[in-house]
Amino acid sequence: MEVSVFNIKGQDTGKKVTLNESVFGIEPNDHAIYLDVKRYLAAQRQGTAKTKERSEMSGSTRKLGRQKGGGGARRGDINSPILVGGARVFGPKPRDYDFKLNKKVKQLARRSALSYKVKENALVVVEDFTFDAPKTKSFIEMLGNLNLADKKALVVMPGVDKNVYLSGRNLPKAKVAAAADLNTYGVLNAGVMVVTESAIAKIEEVLAK
């Protein structure tokens, strides 16, 4: 499929870029998307929640009451979980929430997310560009020229471009990413994707294998 190429002034350059059907035109697999997004969000969790269990509490080990005949549940020392201020049974411990997902499933999820963007006409291809210096005003002007000022935009560059990244860093609705770092969550979370010509080639190089 062919898509028109614009410049950062919002003008149609008259050029066309052909998108690889195996990357941007597949039948989306919703379950693969679900698994990859779930894995991404799980990996973002800190996993630092911690409560003290009985053996970790500091307190007297004196038995507070008799074993039987007290009229209630038996309990030992003041660290007992059934007492206010006591330990917690099976509480959370520091852990890693990330889980493994096969490479082919992750690639299928990314291709599915990109295909959704093309179906929704939410993918804009622009000529390769850069900024002479980090300038948020230039980034805002570019989005305005492309009629994307009020949308959540993901700008995809072929590689790490420091000036473009710094220019868009302070904008709450904009994000800049390198083609090699694209993930399913980032693609779906964006209202529209602005992708440079070279970035299209990089994405196809990674996902068309």
Per-residue pLDDT tens for 27-48?
999 999 999 999 999 999 999 9
Q: Domain end: 63, 91, 119, which one?
A: 91
- Beta-strand pair 153-157/192-196: parallel
Q: 138 and 36: one domain?
A: yes
Query: Mean pLDDT score of the chain, rounded to an integer?
Result: 92
pLDDT at 110 over 90: yes
- Beta-strand pair 174-178/192-196: unpaired
For residue 1, what pLDDT is reported?
Answer: 81
Q: Where are the alpha helices (DSSP H) in 8-153?
A: 21-24, 30-44, 103-119, 136-145
Work out the angle at residue 183's Cα, subtended by the Cα atoms of residues 181 and 189, and round it to the nearest 5 degrees: 125
184 sits in which H/E element? helix 184-189
Q: 200 and 124: one domain?
A: yes
Predicted confidence (pLDDT) per residue in 123-139, tens digit:
999 999 989 999 999 99
For residue 3, what pLDDT is reported?
Answer: 87
Q: For residue 157, what are the β-bridge partners?
A: 178
Q: 86 and 142: one domain?
A: no
Note the maximum CA span of the chain: 91
Q: 69 and 143: one domain?
A: no
* Tally of domains in the chain: 2
Q: 120 and 201: one domain?
A: yes
Predicted confidence (pLDDT) per residue in 157-198, tens digit:
998 889 999 999 999 999 999 999 999 999 999 999 999 999
CATH number of the domain at 123, please: 3.40.1370.10
For residue 209, what pLDDT is reported?
Answer: 67
- The range of the structural domain enclosing residue 74 comes to 51-91
